[in-house]
């Protein structure tokens, strides 16, 4: 049940954002082998004047929040982080140096799935 939200600076074209969404989907598929039907990804755009990185106002960066059902290994999470950074760089040209990934594991009781039930109730 990977759910990703990525914050990026405004100003990217629709084609770049589509490439980013597809690249992130592929990153999840490749690193976690998650079912395509369970992957959810959205983009939040942030005005450059609302971001500061290392004291530099407007420094382009990407911040990805990845919500996962508990149980993935450190190796799988490391692979996900690497694949996300690569997808961001390929889609919007932002160096992996400026991409950060935050992973949060949720117990199966704390994540809702299709049908309005918990992942646990769905047998996950």
**What is the pLDDT tens value at each position of the chain, 124 positions in all?**
799 999 999 999 999 999 999 999 999 999 999 999 999 999 999 999 999 999 999 999 999 999 999 999 999 999 999 999 999 999 999 999 999 999 999 998 888 888 887 888 887 8
| Number of folded domains that form the chain | 1
Torsion (CA) 24, 84, 65, 106 in degrees, nearest 10: 90
In terms of residue numbers, what domain contains 111?
Answer: 3-118
CATH number at residue 71: 3.30.429.10
Angle at 59 between CA 57 and CA 62, to 5 degrees: 130
Neighbour count for residue 41 (Cβ, 10 Å) = 19
- What per-residue confidence (pLDDT) applies to 123? 78
Q: Residue 124 falls within a domain, yes or no? A: no
- What per-residue confidence (pLDDT) applies to 2? 95
- What per-residue confidence (pLDDT) applies to 1? 79
- What per-residue confidence (pLDDT) applies to 42? 98
- What per-residue confidence (pLDDT) applies to 97? 93
Q: In terms of Cα–Cα distance, which of 102, 101, 76 is closest to 87?
A: 101
- What per-residue confidence (pLDDT) applies to 3? 95
d(CA 29, CA 121): 24
- What per-residue confidence (pLDDT) applies to 114? 80
Q: Residue 123 falls within a domain, yes or no? A: no
């Amino acid at each position: 049940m990977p759910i990703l939200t990525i914050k990026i600076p405004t100003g990217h074209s629709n084609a770049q954002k589509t490439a980013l969404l597809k690249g992130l989907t592929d990153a999840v598929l490749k690193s976690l082998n998650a079912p395509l039907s369970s992957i959810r990804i959205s983009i939040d755009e942030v005005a450059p004047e609302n971001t500061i990185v290392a004291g530099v106002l407007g420094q382009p960066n990407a911040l990805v929040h990845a919500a996962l059902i508990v149980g993935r290994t450190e190796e799988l999470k490391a692979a996900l982080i690497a694949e996300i950074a690569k997808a961001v760089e390929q889609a919007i040209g932002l160096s992996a140096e400026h991409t950060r990934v935050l992973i949060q594991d949720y117990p199966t009781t704390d994540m809702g799935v299709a049908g309005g039930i918990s992942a646990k109730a769905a047998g996950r």
